[in-house]
Amino acid sequence: GTKKREAFSGRTVFVLAAIGSAVGLGNIWRFPFVAYDSGGGAFLVPYLVALLSAGIPLLFFDYAIGHRYRGSAPLSFRRISKFAEPIGWIQVLVAFVIAIYYAVILAWAACYAWFSVDQRWGETYEETATFFASDFLQAGNGFGFDFVPLITIVLVVVWALTLGVLLLGVQKGIGRTALFFIPLLVALFVALVVRSLFLPGALDGLNTFFTPEWAALRDPSVWIAAYGQIFFSLSVGFGIMVTYSSYVKRKSNLTSSGLVVGFSNSAFEVLAGIGVFATLGFLVSSSAGAGWADVSGGPGLAFIAFPALISQMPGGAIWGVVFFLCLILAGLTSMISIVEVVISSFQDKVGVSRTVATLVVGIPMAVVSVMLMPTETGLQNLDIMDKFANSLGIVGIALIALLAIMFVFRLGPTLRDHLNSVSSFKVGPIWIICMAVVTPAVLAYSLYGEVKALIDEPYEGYESAVLNTFGWGMIAAILILAVIFTLLPWRGAKHLDGPPET
Ligand code: PHE
Ligand code: NA
């Protein structure tokens, strides 16, 4: 309550923690296939437009809110207005849902780092595909609680590590982890990418990736994909950056930090695209029996295509361990940031210590995650929660937050002045236009398209009872809980109206 808010020791640590949150599974496996599916080299045009018109401006927007109002998402929005508090809680609950499934992907990566040593997944693409779905996940559909023991145990370890870091606090836990993990990740990943460029077939892969399909730029869905990738990849618009910037000291250059974070994340993404496609070029030219049509498709990239090529490569064992280690390093820092959103909001609202908040919030999160994800139906649950949390949750709440702040509470100029009062890179009318017009328009258009698609046809053909539970039911639960949490009294934070003095 009256204790001073925790803080990062300085700007470098904050920037590294923000990069740690941004650089995650989205960079390494999501970007390459999104780009490939949406025009290859030509995708870089909408991608850059999305980064400059929405990604970086939203990063500034989140920083300004967290830094000015100095609270977790619900507290910051409460200080803006008591009618804005539910916005913060919706962000927290979306983060809750993402954490539930993000953790299990880390658990898979840890298992696959271990499997790289003996390559028990087989030699060909067909074998690695069967291994992933049947032997490893034992994947099926419907409802069920048949646990896969190995994944369950590793998932518990992932949660223990995440909560262990968070128990240590903002600087000693989140800050130090980023300070250590991010340089290590960059070194390992650059080594992997350089190595991949010398594989036979690498050039073919790069040609496949970069050959621009200019016609794709006339397709609105390609532009939506670019904005979607930027939102997900920068972790903007749903509380993470609000939370982290509330731990930044008063006089801190916010916009130049944002530029560093935004461009580092994109650099990492393009680098991943190069590495992934150089490697896939090798896979397609090898005897694994995979064509471009097989390897380009989504999540299978990391857990099906890469295992096949690890088996084909000289020195594949080491390469595989390093690749999955990169996924773990990148993913763990993102995971930490997602869970911190939930913990810090509980701390602010209830007024308990970090230790109590971490245990009281973290353990139930871990339990829900362990109940739903390492089971035989876990992949289905993950797929549905991911789809609804991203396409409806993140997009919807970013849209609501922007409209509320810019038009209802009319804080555009206040936030602009706040950014400019501490930063060297100044923002002006262009930033306001991006936040009030361009980004809301793109978000509204894509939200409309996603809702319509999800209503018209059951997502991926899953059973409607399952979709109603983990998809629509989850969205309804988020909205109801956000209202309930708003109605509970504030026992932690003081000064609920307007930015705090200190
Ligand atoms: N930005 C992270 C990535 O690119 C993903 C992420 C999503 C992190 C949501 C936190 C919250 O992988
Ligand atoms: Na990212």
Measured from the CB, is residue 271 less than 6 Å from ligand 1?
Answer: no
How many angstroms is it from 329 CA to the middle of ligand 2? 13
- Are the C-beta atoms of 288 and 312 separated by less than 8 Å? yes
Q: Which of 39, 119, 37 is nearest to 292 (CA)?
A: 37
Q: In degrees, to the nearest 5, what angle opens at C-alpha 170 toward C-alphas 107 and 477?
A: 60
Give the Cα separation of 278 and 296 in Å (integer).
Answer: 13
| The two structure tokens encoding residue 167 | 């128990």
Give the Cα separation of 56 and 480 in Å (integer).
Answer: 31
What percent of the residues of the chain are helix, what percent strand, and what percent coil, each to the nearest 5?
Answer: 80, 0, 20
How many angstroms is it from 234 CA to the middle of ligand 2? 5
What is the number of other CB atoms lying within 10 angstroms of the CB of residue 75? 28
Measured from the CB, is residue 334 less than 6 Å from ligand 1?
Answer: yes
Positive or negative: CA dihedral 445, 447, 450, 453: negative
Give the Cα separation of 271 and 263 in Å (integer).
Answer: 12
How many angstroms is it from 18 CA to the middle of ligand 2? 10
pLDDT at residue number 355: 97
Query: Which atom of ligand 1 has the smallest separation from the CA of 24?
Result: 12
Query: Which atom of ligand 1 has the smallest separation from the CA of 265?
Result: 4
Measured from the CB, is residue 98 less than 6 Å from ligand 1?
Answer: yes
Q: Compute the residue count for the chain.
A: 502
Measured from the CB, is residue 26 less than 6 Å from ligand 1?
Answer: yes
Measured from the CB, is residue 244 less than 6 Å from ligand 1?
Answer: no
Residue nearest to atom 6 of ligand 1 (CA): 235
What's at 284, amino acid-wise?
Answer: V
Measured from the CB, is residue 22 less than 6 Å from ligand 1?
Answer: yes
How many angstroms is it from 193 CA to the middle of ligand 2? 17
- Are the C-beta atoms of 485 and 78 separated by less than 8 Å? no
Measured from the CB, is residue 337 less than 6 Å from ligand 1?
Answer: yes
Measured from the CB, is residue 27 less than 6 Å from ligand 1?
Answer: yes
Measured from the CB, is residue 240 less than 6 Å from ligand 1?
Answer: yes
Task: Choose one of 30, 51, 235, 244 to mutate for the ligand 1 pocket test, by most ligand atoms within 8 angstroms of C-beta.
Answer: 235
Residue nearest to atom 9 of ligand 1 (CA): 235
How many angstroms is it from 385 CA to the middle of ligand 1? 15
Give the Cα separation of 383 and 391 in Å (integer).
Answer: 12
Sequence-distant (6+) residues with CB within 8 A of 209 are 32, 35, 36, 40, 41, 273, 274, 277
How many angstroms is it from 396 CA to the middle of ligand 1? 17
How many angstroms is it from 466 CA to the middle of ligand 1? 25
Measured from the CB, is residue 185 less than 6 Å from ligand 1?
Answer: no
Cα torsion at 326, 133, 107, 287 (round to 10°)?
A: -20
Instruction: Write out residues in the chain with pLDDT < 50, as ranges.
Output: 1
How many angstroms is it from 499 CA to the middle of ligand 1? 28
pTM, two decimal places: 0.95
Measured from the CB, is residue 235 less than 6 Å from ligand 1?
Answer: yes
How many angstroms is it from 64 CA to the middle of ligand 2? 20
pLDDT at residue number 1: 44
Measured from the CB, is residue 91 less than 6 Å from ligand 1?
Answer: no
